[in-house]
Chain A
């Protein structure tokens, strides 16, 4: 779960990292005073807001209110801007980059730092980026910080501060169960102070049981994805016209790929998981129908889950609530013959293999 900038900054400040002073407002009129130039930034759970016009500067209260009003009326990548952060405009002499992320291959946090931070960090050559893994059993060690400082070639006055911030970034990662804590830029002011110019914190969704404070945070989801998430259904909306439902994330992906090889395009990724609970099946089909596909492609491999019980659930939903398009089903595994009979009764088109199902669904989607 990606937190918005102001929440991310708050978490850094909690560790004692200096962040720009600012307020979050949802109406321009709520901005009451300012001491010097400010930057106004849209608070949305997606990147690229600068390019979308969601970041503006102002040097008077009047101008700040006007710009805040403009940004608050915007929509950025499908997200209505509901709040803006109005923060002191930093005087920046130099921009560094500092982050700590979960390196899944190493199975350890990775501390990343560069003396060339800012907008173009991703095109900074590899040799100018310092990386070190932190063993979670012993934590960040002094030698790693010394290595970082010698790689960054910082003047003495800032070296101590950067070390201190690196430790706090790791502490923040642990305290918040974060997958990522990123400061870019880590600004050095002309007076030699270090301030986190922008912050990005991504919280591990699986840690929510011990972080109730993050519940209900606005996420980068479509309304239908949000509805599915609330119902505990693993669902992603895609830009094709074939509604794909399968059991297991890998199999769902493989089904979408099979469509791709046939020239079809998936409009949904719906992973039913290992359930045959009729209520869950019903909810899944309700979500699918709302995505308005031209055809539904269902691919079930029953290993632990019985095919016939899944089929019965699908049968009942279709008989009772109807479905506004054709449904191609490929069902394989435990009790598959019985499952096929049940699905036939509900008027589903049966396919023997995944490829055949993908081919049929693609054909129907092009005719519809």
Chain B
């Protein structure tokens, strides 16, 4: 098993004719991902990397044979149109959506997440490198496939390059990954640390969980509390970036009222440590700790 994606994932690429869409459709297919179609309004009938392009998601559903009907969508369209693309996918019943697009307005993201929640749709991102399950030969995202190796560690991260750094160090040390999910670097994202931890906890091909967090927000603190409350028994390891970063922009008094001292690297590390999580102080500390834990 793996989380979010598996061998049965059939991918529709929204924004397939753009530079990023085309480049990563090629890379996803090379990895083994089953890309069944792409959508760009006005470009229907074309082919990108051997993948048929449709004018709309509805048209893709109408024209693709039933065994090729998509169940997962990846979005590359520019920020002003990303929300619309996700709604279009939901209208056809797609239940898993990965949004690569960055700079989506936060109010669009909030509305989108509320509607996805209402429709029981899983959103990953926005501003995420995506999701990859190396053993399942499925990658829905933009991450460099070469750094990933099949294995039994689940990785959850808020960042891009830093994830590759940590995963690469893990792979070099012999610790492959069951799945790796990039939650996205934006303030409001779909799948959270808590949800991803629960998925890995249930996954019988995942032995341990690695979290890569960073300053801002309180998602890591919440994850720490959840690990205790839900009695997560698989070992969890973490690295939190930003312990030397200056305090970010102050969100008026409201920010202080809501955060009450949370949100700093120190607060995150404290919360995770209290939950029994092993926190590394440098990225390469993660594989060292995995080794010590004899995983």
Contact = CB atoms under 8 A, between A and B. Distances in A.
A76 interface: no
Interface stretch (B29-37, B59-67, B202-210, B213-221): B213-221
Contacts of A260: 243-244
Nearest to B145: A303
Nearest to A105: B218
Contacts of B265: 257
Interface string A86-130: 000000000001010111110111101000000001100010010
B57 interface: no
B161 A303 contact: yes
B110 A102 contact: yes
Interface string A124-157: 0010010100011100000000000000000000
A41 interface: no
Contact of A107 (B113, B165, B256): B113
Nearest to B104: A206
A220 B247 CA distance: 14
Contact of B253 (A121, A206, A261, A269): A121
Interface stretch (B7-15, B41-49, B230-238, B281-289): B281-289
A108 B110 contact: yes
A303 B241 contact: no
Given A104-B187, A251-B159, A256-B244, A303 B110 contact: no
Contact of A105 (B103, B105, B217, B257): B217
Contacts of B144: 303-304, 333-334
B214 A253 contact: yes
Nearest to A205: B103
Contacts of A97: 253
B214 A177 contact: no
A365 to B, nearest CB: 14
A209 B79 contact: yes
A210 interface: yes
B162 interface: yes
A102 B118 contact: no
Nearest to A300: B161
Interface in A243-287: 246-251, 253-254, 256-261, 265-266, 269, 274
B147 A303 contact: yes
Given A122-B253, A248-B159, A334-B144, A301 B114 contact: no
Nearest to B221: A105
A97 B252 CA distance: 12
A179 interface: yes
Interface string A351-368: 001110000000000000
A23 interface: no
A176 to B, nearest CB: 10
Contacts of B257: 112, 121-122, 129
B111 interface: yes
Nearest to B190: A107
A99 to B, nearest CB: 4
A355 B253 contact: no
Interface string B226-268: 0000000000000101111110011111111110100001000
A207 interface: yes
Contacts of B142: 304
Nearest to A184: B253
B80 A177 contact: no
A254 B281 contact: no
Contacts of B252: 99, 101, 180, 182, 184, 200, 202
Contact of A355 (B159, B255, B284): B284
A137 B114 contact: yes
A125 to B, nearest CB: 11
B163 interface: yes
Given A99-B253, A122-B257, A260-B243, A251 B161 contact: yes
A186 B243 CA distance: 36
B168 A332 contact: yes
Given A136-B107, A206-B105, A333-B168, 5 more contacts: A2-B249, A101-B258, A103-B258, A104-B217, A256-B245
9 contacts: A110-B254, A179-B251, A206-B105, A207-B105, A236-B246, A250-B158, A257-B282, A265-B244, A354-B165
